[in-house]
A = this chain, B = another copy of it.
Amino acid sequence: MSVETIKWVKGAARIIDQTKLPHKFEYIYCRDVKTMWQAIKRLSVRGAPAIGVAAAFGVVLGVQKFKGRDKTRFLKLFNATCEFLGTSRPTAVDLFNRLSEMRAVVDLNPQAGVPALKKALQLRAMSIFQADRRVCRQMGGHGVKLIKNGMRCLTICNAGALATVDYGTAQGVFYAARAKGKKFSVYACETRPLLQGARLTCWELMAQKIDTTLICDNMAASLMASSKVDIIFTGADRIASNGDAANKIGTYMLAVLARHHGIPFYVVAPGSSFDLKIKSGRQIPIEERKSDEVTCFAGVSTAPRGVKVYNPAFDVTPAKLITGIVTEYGIIRPPYAKNIHARFANR
């Protein structure tokens, strides 16, 4: 993969501006935490694992220009930075899990001075970055076993290189299958309102010469009814301890349709997307975004002025509709509450 979604370059976090894809490829160099916060909020960088890494880099950006050795002032800035980044987007738990990892660097080194903490935070962010690269490839390695020659796969939103550092979760499975020389094809749901499927997933898959067909989200049911889908892979933004999984709006629709048509439905997500503090998906906060994402397109209004809009960015798929969850440790299967606990209890 040659897509470098987020990378630390000479004191800045360089991100691909995903709002411009597929027709413009531009980088944004985040040199301060506010620029990173805005990049997350505006979806210039998106995808649960990627915004986890972005948050870690955001912490480094927030504290790196701190002058002096006054630890109280440093901790105040550090805490404010973490809190600020936590307000960017509510649903993906990777962001909060990665912020917790950054906080742990400070909490577990109470004797460390300011320069040592700055250095340790920088190292931790780089290790989070590297872990994402490794973990995505591990998930691909487990998920690839599910793809048989000739399979027609379906996915929604972008769970690819652009949703992670450089490889992907659900789409990482496709890349692993491609690397193994398997023959398969992919239907990509366009993913309204912001068309991450059309803009980002098709762009990535076509670059990898994977046979890709774009559909509108409302065509998935018809496709399944005509036996053109063999397996479904999606990412996740937060998985509760019972296996309920929040992901891009429309994912739950696919899960219900998959059950109706007897099609296996897999979630592909790293450990950083699990939230063991919550019992079920009912506790996952669902971000509602602005109405103009639905009513405008490329600056053109497509609905009557003043129409009411409901625009949740995510939905929750109950565990009972999920065939398996592909993680870096292997594929977790039902009963999820028991098996998720067994896998992650000690972390």
Q: Are A193 and B216 in contact (CB-based, < 8 A)? A: yes
Q: Are B217 and A218 in contact (CB-based, < 8 A)? A: yes
Q: Output the nearest chain B residue to A207 by Cβ-Cβ distance.
A: B304
The answer for the CA separation of A223 and B189 in the assembled complex, in Å, is 19
Q: Mark A38-71, 1 if CB is under 8 A from B, else 0.
A: 0000000000000000000000000000000000
Which listed residue (B302, B311, B316) contacts A199, Cβ 8 A? B302
Interface residue A327 (Cβ < 8 Å from any Cβ of B): no
Interface of A is mostly: mixed
> What's the number of copies of this chain in the assembled complex?
2
List which A206-243 residues lie within 8 A (CB) of chain B: 206, 211-223, 225
List which A280-300 residues lie within 8 A (CB) of chain B: 294-295, 297-298, 300
Q: Are A250 and B304 in contact (CB-based, < 8 A)? A: no
Q: Are A310 and B221 in contact (CB-based, < 8 A)? A: no
**19 additional A-B residue pairs with CB within 8 Å, beyond A213-B308, A215-B309, A222-B312:** A22-B303, A156-B218, A189-B218, A190-B303, A195-B303, A206-B307, A212-B307, A214-B294, A214-B295, A215-B294, A216-B250, A219-B249, A219-B315, A221-B315, A222-B252, A222-B316, A253-B253, A256-B260, A300-B300
Give 24 pairs: A residue, B residue, CB < 8 Å, sorted on A: A192-B192, A192-B216, A195-B302, A195-B303, A198-B302, A199-B302, A199-B303, A202-B303, A206-B306, A212-B307, A213-B308, A214-B307, A214-B309, A215-B309, A216-B311, A219-B249, A219-B310, A219-B311, A219-B315, A221-B250, A221-B253, A221-B315, A222-B316, A260-B260
